[in-house]
Amino acid sequence: MVRLLITAVLGCLFVFLSGCAEPVTQPFREEVKIGDLKTLESEKVPGRRSLPTANFDVHIYELPADNLGKLDCLWDGFHARGLKFYNYRAFAGNLFRVGMGRQFSWSRLDDLIKDLGGKRMALISLLLPDGRSEDLRITGLDRPDEISFVDRSLLRDKVLIGPGIVNLRLIGSQIPGARGVCQIVGYPAFTVPMASAAGPMAELAKQQEVQFKAAGFGLKISPDEFIVLGPTKYVSERMSLGGLFFTNLDGTVFTAGGKRPTRKISVRIFVLVCTAINYLE
């Protein structure tokens, strides 16, 4: 009842390589855990003159849903070295899929997605300060919705969220003694944007935040690598975490093979290209 009241109050205030070039060298490890994220979410260190960051170009693609299966060869070309999960079966149970590649194959990856009818919808420059989180907006909810997801205990659960924003929360952190490489942790998170809120309203917004860490992943990355995040399969709804995160039921206008532009249901693919790491030792 309290959650519904909070939702009502906030509701009034709310207005996405090569084709099969590099084989997977090892399977995903199901029981490897990501470390305590609290150690990564530190406050800004006093006295620093500049803010150290890991820099990424985030390419968000949309692909006609009926072409998603044709990307299997693309996924087979990514490697899984160093990827970690809270629980891989929970991650996969939420229909999330992640892999890594190297930048020399980046243009071929871009070409392959476009050859399959996909289009780049956005290019975002993202800076990750050392030890602090940044949210990448994925989609919005304009009303409360009950979303199902698989938790870390592998049980299917439901949560009421909205109105607000579904994000990919990313945390970058320096690796002591290592230059040119950093640790990245990512997971979906629902937030209520309250940029100008203070006091009780800011607290209400914080209470409404939901972190879906069961769909989280972690890895080490350097500026010669990129991350690809997408769905294991197409789901024709937005009532599950995977469907909400990857499926665009409103559709996107696609043009291919000289045919007339056609609006089709689409899926999102996210490519995060690491361009620089400027963390201070």
Structure confidence by residue, pLDDT tens digits, 61-99: 999 999 998 888 778 888 888 899 999 999 999 999 999
| pLDDT (mean) for 137-158 | 95
Q: Could you report the per-residue pLDDT of 243-259, keeping only the tens digit for each?
A: 999 999 999 999 876 77
Q: What is the pLDDT of residue 211?
A: 96
The full set of domain ranges for the chain reads 2-39+52-277
Question: Where are the extended beta strands (E) located within 49-118?
Answer: 53-64, 84-85, 96-102
As a whole number of angstroms, the longest Cα–Cα distance in the chain is: 59
pTM (two decimals): 0.81
Instruction: Tell me what the mean pLDDT of segment 9-22 comes to.
Output: 38
Q: What are phi and psi of 62, to 5 degrees?
A: -125, 140
Of 139 and 47, the one with more pLDDT: 139
Q: What is the pLDDT of residue 105?
A: 73
pLDDT at 185 over 90: yes
Q: Is 50 helix (H, G, I), strand (E, B) or coil?
A: coil
Nearest to 95 by CA among 252, 248, 265, 229: 229
pLDDT confidence of residue 260? 86
Q: Centre a 10 Å sphere on the Cβ of residue 35 and count the other Cβ atoms it contains.
A: 12
- Which amino acid is located at 89 in the chain? R
Residue 16's pLDDT is 32
Q: Write the pLDDT tens digit of every residue in 186-199.
A: 999 999 987 555 66
Quote the tokens at residue 264: 């089709």
Instruction: In whole angstroms, give the CA distance from residue 239 to residue 253.
Output: 23
CA–CA gap between residue 105 and residue 278 (Å, rounded): 24
